[in-house]
A and B are shown apart, each in its own frame.
Chain A
Amino acid sequence: MERRSFLKNGLMLGCSAAAAPLVTPVAMAAAPWDTRLVVIILRGAMDGLDVIQPYGDRDMAALRPNLPVGEAGQALDLDGFYALHPHFAALKPLYDAGEFGAVHAVSTPYRDKRSHFDGQDILEAGLPDLTGGGLRDGWLNRMLQVMPGLEADVAYAIGREQMLVLTGDAPAQRWSPDANLNISPNARALLNVVHHDDPLFRDASAEAIEIAEQIAMGEAEAEETADMMAASPMMEAVRSNGEHVRIAEFAATRLRADTRIASFSINGWDTHARQANAMRRAAGALTDTILTLKAGLGPVWEKTAILCMTEFGRTARENGSTGTDHGTGGALLYAGGALRGGQVKGSWPGLGDADLYDGRDLMPTRDVRAYAAWVMRGVTGLDATTLEQAVFPGLDMGSDPSILL
């Protein structure tokens, strides 16, 4: 089938589903697959070389005299070549249990201008570049567009931020745990009247009211999440109960029910200065999030695949303020019982002067979209042609890296 007709079919389904009155508070049988996919966007450009440190590379230490790696930086050895940054130590037990892993030297197709905003747009749009003039939708949404007949709450964008990756014509829910809405039936009916002629407002208000009602009815599930987390020894490692923890709790609650896809962001990776300090906050937020998901998902963790992706890597050399600047190649982190953790995948390009991209950055050896595509293929059963044409236009998926169990 042509990509166009795929998109068209998905688009028609998406529109009709979004426009239909959302009257059933409890969703019908949700998705034809059972594995949960969580995509976390790490905004700010995570320094893959610092998080998953190639300390076995002979050139690494010299590039970063003030950002020590491996034993010198109290990192935790993973496989004799790579070591885990100490601020990620809470994830080492998951690595050992095969539930946390990484892929190194990957990137989106974005090159050279190294702008966060363009880099994130390309990452979330899943496109080779932005020259096509259109950021119409994100790749998670396009995946939904080719799956007919899904309920909107199959997919959730969570948090206050706009998630381009899940934006598009296919219906997807968006919610922040701190929004609430409590209005009378009469006021609700009058809102329909004043929004009737404006589809943007009409759909957003209808969804807001529906989600608020679902959440009110789902109090029992939320309590269950809290109980499961209180009972989990993993939660002792969670240091804070900031917004990211509430987002992860909310995600876990939805994913235990009908939701199959959740996406949100964790910010704070733009470590231009004093990287050791800046990394502490961001790493804490990410490790807390993964541990909260594990605890909150309970048995569903075994059927969960979490991908943590960033817009690009950072310079191989440290800069003048014990930080790193915008680079190219970096790392993909992944977790969950559905994935084959306990390993660092990827083809390592080396860090010698001639090995670096543009003489400054880690050389990407594979398109990060290929890993996402193979995981999506395993999770949903979509064929490679659809993934390469409709979901990630222009991608060559290559061989199966088999990170899905």
Chain B
Amino acid sequence: MTFDPTLAEIRFGNGLSPVVAAPVSVDAMLSALEGPDRFGAAFPIPTYAEVYPSPLDIRNASRAVNQALENGGLEEAEAARDEMRAAAREAVGTFIARQMARDVTTTDAFRERLVRFWADHFSVRPVSGGIRHLVSPHIEAFVRPYVAGSFADLLVAAATSPMMIYFLDQHQSMGPNSQAAQRRDRGLNENLARELLELHTLGVGGDYRQTDVRELAELLTGLTANAQRGTQFRRQQAEPGAETVLGVTYGGDEESIDHIIAVLRDLAVHPDTARHLATKLYVHFVGPDVAEDVVARMAAAYLATDGSLMALYDGLLGSDEAWDPQLHKVKQPYDFIASSMRALAPPTEDILAATLQDVRRLVQRPLAVMGQTWQSPLGPDGWPEEAEDWITPQGMAGRITWAMQAPKEIIHRLPDPREFVGHALGDRAPDAVVFAAGAAETISDGIGVVLASAAFQRR
């Protein structure tokens, strides 16, 4: 089983497009990924440091309202705050539209898939309703730039990002013997330490104990964030003294974020981490029945290159299993919508001109019915991988409804369904789908049965 451009787009990309050529080889896929992020640049989403309204803007606006309660000028302060909240809501729609434009037009689709994969690996949720627009900028700053580099860099960036710190209560954690704890009678919170070991690095089957969680939690104290400066290290919160995680002792001299970065870099290249990441990539892209030899080769290459993500991808794409013509995965809801959009190929300016109402009607609400509320996985373990978790009666109701009704709102003139089968499925279109596309009562039903077909939903 060898490289196949159609499978490359379906399994490792965003599906086929009638106007964008598929990659010609594994080397072409990997070198595009190593090259500049052209489509990220073409459809920019601000980073966490650039976004408006920023966490500081939001804090200042609510402070201004509180001060106005005492000093007057309440109406103006509230109007300014409400305007900012409206801008934050609009930003969510803008960021979804730009991400969709990247997904529909890119020739480097594996990158977009990897950004989603790693953003899910390091899942965060906004801790309050007014900051939903920060998730895309968080991904832009702390995930996207690192997906073709070393996992240690990605881990340090994502695990110490402000949203992760808030999401997992790390800012609340204080060393039991720290100055801050003694003054404020607060203490340790193990949440981030636990997820770092269980989800981000070694994996829940990894070789660690409750004492490692505890020691890592103590080592992480001092890592915190605020609205003004983002992530920072507050020595007053840090537990004094050395901690031992997985048999290695860190710190002991002056408390510093360097000890935290050191433990993260060690965890990144632990053999259990290599295995966990290789397995997770395999399961995400190829299927649930893991080929142990492929995972072992991927993990070995990763460890031999000091944690290079490219080595993992190279091992995966270089395996026979990656090009198995049988499709074992189903597209997650966002990927279903993105790949449908890519097959429909609306003009890019139409995607970018979508209003917040359009985005909510055509993307966000349908995603929720399909079981994937935008950027809101239930927990830090992200979205499920199993086909059965997505292809439920309710999930299918959402997918079928979208397939039948959304396309006619997305492009002005729907293509002939008999032609569209080729756009969507290329040389892999099963006879049943070709037949159904030609037998529909209406053009929109014809497009709908193609997009709702098992052949299109799988990858």
Contacts and interface: CB of A to CB of B under 8 A. Distances in A.
Contacts of B191: 272, 325
A320 B378 contact: no
A193 B394 CA distance: 20
Given A115-B204, A160-B368, A208-B393, A194 B455 contact: yes
A153 to B, nearest CB: 11
Interface string B414-450: 0000000000000000101101100111000100111
A204 B378 contact: no
Contact of A118 (B172, B204, B433, B445): B204
A115 B194 contact: yes
B319 interface: no
Most buried by B among A112, A113, A323: A113
A173 B204 contact: no
Given A43-B378, A193-B435, A272-B169, A180 B397 contact: yes
Contacts of B330: 200
Interface stretch (A142-150, A183-191, A332-340, A342-350): A183-191
Contacts of B384: 162
B181 A160 contact: no
Given A162-B389, A179-B398, A320 B436 contact: no
B457 interface: yes
A205 interface: yes
A320 B439 contact: no
A2 interface: no
Contact of B394 (A113, A116, A179, A196): A179
Chain A, interface size: which category? 35 or more
A194 B162 CA distance: 46
A267 B378 contact: yes
Nearest to A194: B453
Contacts of B176: 320
Contacts of B198: 113, 115, 117
Contacts, number: 162
Nearest to A161: B378
Interface string A81-123: 0000000000000000000000000000000111111100000
B159 interface: no
A176 interface: yes
A20 interface: no
A211 interface: yes
Nearest to A182: B401
Given A184-B441, A184-B445, A195-B454, A321 B400 contact: no
Contacts of B401: 180-183
Nearest to A320: B187
A212 B369 CA distance: 14
Given A161-B378, A174-B394, A204-B393, A194 B204 contact: no
A118 B197 CA distance: 14
Interface string A157-178: 0001110000100000111101
Main secondary structure of the interface of A (DSSP, over half): loop
Nearest to B190: A325
Given A117-B381, A176-B369, A191 B400 contact: yes
B373 interface: yes
A272 B378 CA distance: 16
A201 B394 contact: no
A114 B394 CA distance: 31
A275 B185 CA distance: 16
Contact of B391 (A66, A167, A204): A204
Given A320-B188, A321-B169, A322-B186, 20 more contacts: A43-B378, A113-B204, A115-B194, A160-B369, A161-B371, A167-B388, A174-B394, A175-B394, A179-B398, A183-B404, A186-B440, A187-B440, A193-B432, A194-B452, A204-B393, A207-B396, A272-B191, A320-B174, A321-B186, A325-B191
Contact of A273 (B172, B371, B381, B400): B172
Contact of A196 (B393, B397, B404, B432): B432
B433 to A, nearest CB: 5
A181 B400 contact: yes
23 contacts: A113-B204, A113-B210, A115-B198, A115-B204, A160-B373, A162-B384, A175-B393, A178-B368, A179-B397, A183-B448, A184-B441, A187-B445, A194-B453, A194-B454, A197-B430, A200-B387, A200-B391, A204-B391, A205-B396, A272-B172, A320-B172, A320-B173, A320-B186
